Amino acid sequence: MKDILTAPFVEEMKRATANMYRLGWDERNGGNISYLLKEEEVAEYLDLTHVIRTIPTGFDASKLIGKIFIVTGTGKYFKNVEVDPELNLGVIRIAEDGTTAELLWGYRDGGKFTSELPAHLMSHIVRLEKDPAHRVVMHTHPTYTLAMTHIHELDDKAFTHTIWEMCTECIVVFPDGIGVLPWMVCGNNEIGIATAKKMEEYRLVVWGLHGIYGAGKDMDETFGLIETVEKAAQLYMLICNRPHLNTIRDEELKEVAEAFGLTYRKDFLNL
């Protein structure tokens, strides 16, 4: 059995959390990541018959029975993941009942998975139905995206349109757009259900006055989606109270989308 601390999936979690912390997105315990692993890759590092303990999830994830995830721990700080992965991360498998997580590794201090597990697992279920290659759900509190939710209308079309307008490549990176939820209490099944509903249409979901969710087939793609929104939101916050001399017009957004052969949200342009 190989040492799990050398596993590529642990390394990826360390790198992602460290990057996000240093970008200033994940203060204190802010943010969480869940990453769907292949059973055969985990079996190289862990005895899959050895369950350390079981933890109820509080919701039905029957569609994920037997699936294994590496997940950040609740209350744990992203800045600490790279120095002590076994304390701050856990590898869990969804048990036969669909409502229990079997802990295979991690959460060494008796801790458990993120409080946002409902939004993560419900989003995984939806995104896997859309794309079997889907693997990662990431939640974070990027500064400018969050700032923008204080001053911008919280509507899918309006928010996406403003972000697309900020830089030419946004429509190329997320032609499917951005879903936006109003302020809601976090950490419960209700926000999980609302997030997953948006994930039926989008790989990006903004939580008003809280943060953002991204979903993708690997860590880079998911991080890249969020990073691109955040860059555009930063531009918006820099220019929103100045006169606009130039802008990318809707005809031009259409031209870019067509030049790249994209299936995009045509109804989000005013043409």
Which CA distances in Å does 254 have to 34, 50, 162, 262, 268?
34, 54, 14, 10, 10
Question: Could you tell me if 208 and 151 are in contact, meaning their C-beta atoms sit under 8 angstroms apart?
Answer: no
Instruction: Determine the residue with CB nearest Zn ion.
Output: 211
The answer to whether 74 contacts ligand 13P (rule: CB under 6 A) is yes
Q: CB of residue 27 vs ligand 13P: minimum separation in angstroms?
A: 9
Q: Which strand ranges, in their side-by-side order, compose the sheet holding 68-72?
A: 53-56, 100-106, 89-94, 68-72, 32-37, 136-140, 211-216, 204-207, 179-181
Residue window 155-174: x/- pattern of binding to ligand 13P, with contact defined by CB under 6 A: --------------------
* Cα gap 216→117, rounded to integer Å: 17
With CB under 6 A as the contact rule, the residue among 5, 75, 249, 260 that binds ligand 13P is: 75
With CB under 6 A as the contact rule, the residue among 19, 80, 115, 189 that binds ligand 13P is: 115
With CB under 6 A as the contact rule, the residue among 30, 98, 208, 224 that binds ligand 13P is: 30
Residue window 177-216: x/- pattern of binding to Zn ion, with contact defined by CB under 5 A: ----------------------------------x-----
SS3 193: helix
Amino acid at 21: Y
Question: Could you tell me if 78 and 20 are in contact, meaning their C-beta atoms sit under 8 angstroms apart?
Answer: yes
With CB under 6 A as the contact rule, the residue among 34, 88, 114, 195 that binds ligand 13P is: 114
| Active-site residue, selected from the candidate residues 116, 165, 227, 230 | 116
Catalytic, 116? Answer yes
Nearer to ligand 13P among residue 75 and residue 182 (C-beta): 75
SS3 39: helix
Near ligand 13P by CB under 6 A, which window of 1-9, 111-119, 126-134, 163-171? 111-119
The answer to whether 99 contacts ligand 13P (rule: CB under 6 A) is no
Nearer to Zn ion among residue 78 and residue 174 (C-beta): 78
Q: CB of residue 94 vs ligand 13P: minimum separation in angstroms?
A: 18
The answer to whether 186 contacts ligand 13P (rule: CB under 6 A) is yes
Question: Could you tell me if 138 and 16 are in contact, meaning their C-beta atoms sit under 8 angstroms apart?
Answer: yes
Nearer to ligand 13P among residue 140 and residue 162 (C-beta): 140
Nearest CA to 123 out of 222, 225, 188, 214 is that of 214
Question: Could you tell me if 204 and 127 are in contact, meaning their C-beta atoms sit under 8 angstroms apart?
Answer: no
Which CA distances in Å does 253 have to 173, 235, 264, 265?
12, 17, 10, 11
The answer to whether 143 contacts ligand 13P (rule: CB under 6 A) is no
* Cα gap 268→260, rounded to integer Å: 17
By annotation, the residues acting in catalysis are 116
Return residues touching ligand 13P (CB under 6 A): 29-32, 72, 74-75, 114-116, 139, 186-187
